[in-house]
Structure 1
Amino acid sequence: MFVHGGNGTYEQWFFFDDRWAGAHPELASSLIWFAYHWDPLCSGDHLYLTPCSDNRLRYVAVVGDDGQTHVREAQPHDEPRVWDLRRWSYEKRPPGEPVAGEVLGTVEIQLQQPSPDTCELTEFTITRTRHGQAVSGLLGRRVRQDLQEAGISRTTGWLPRNVLYPHGRRFLRVLGRMREGSDGAQVLIGG
């Protein structure tokens, strides 16, 4: 079935039950794999809407069972909480302290764009709570460490949203040294 997704796009849906899946396990596994990865050779554990073919990394700052915020690469099971965070960028977040599993911040990076030692920041969202500054710093430190290990030394441009977006400037400062050059705005990683 094809479902109209708006803006002239359609989503392809497959429906089957456990009986059919039990009788056709290889085909069922293939269809489930296709739902997450259009590329059959993709072994990435990326989020649903992240293309298989490019080299994007998404990090999330998640509240752990211990109540502390931990930064790690996003997993598919984080998707609903990432969508909550995006929604709360426009709406008011429900009152109260963050709960275990809640995503307080996310950043997506496309590596080696447009050159091997460069990355592009393709998304950045931080919670609008009192935790925002700390979350921004945690994300910046983890991303800086991973980018340096990968040999990435600079970004192209600033954050995809306005750089004055709450806590964005702190993230960029922790990530590296910001500069406005003749070749455009960039952050020198760890610089």
Structure 2
Amino acid sequence: MPHAAGRLSAADGAAPASPEDLLVRVGHGDERAFEELYAHLVPQVFGLVVRIVRDPAQAEEVTQEVFVEVWRTATRFDPGRGTATAYVVTMAHRRAVDRVRSVQKSTDRERASAVSEQTPPFDVVADQVEVRLEREQVRRCLGSLTQLQREAVDLAYYGGYTYREVAEVLGANVATVKTRMRDGLIRLRDCLGVQNGAAR
């Protein structure tokens, strides 16, 4: 990955390239496009990550990891399936959540090693299994949503974004975002209701 410098000025008289154009060019190995995309998106990516991990130092690490992944996977970006901003922000959200889980697992292991090994009570094991199953159900049901619905729900409920912020990230108006989120949540509710009913 090239060194991420500050925003480079657009050519004299030329309109600045869109994030979508820049990301496509990054997919072709264009380092200048990567530097411009980095400068354009890094404040938004860092802001999201630090809200999730709640540690500026770790947020900086995760942000750098996100842009390494952007450089490596830019060829997978399809402008017809969503905006470049949503593509990168979704990647950032996933990596931030992974970091939180990794830190939590490490903390859990340290706590476990500090106390004598005991067989957990049945109800504790049952609760852990139930939570894990619920997460898997939610993940499966999210896959049934449209691209815009899934991105909107991810940003609002996992990233903590407001309707207006979600609209800005996705390049849609607020009314459209509200409608898509409402429809997506209804679909999620119905999917989870069916799965929970089948589980009983």
Same fold (TM over 0.5): no
CA radius of gyration, larger in: 2
Q: TM-score, normalised by structure 2?
A: 0.25
Q: Which has the higher strand share?
A: 1
Q: Which has the higher helix share?
A: 2
**Structure ranking higher on relative contact order (CA contacts 8 Å, 6+ apart):** 2
Q: TM-score, normalised by structure 1?
A: 0.26
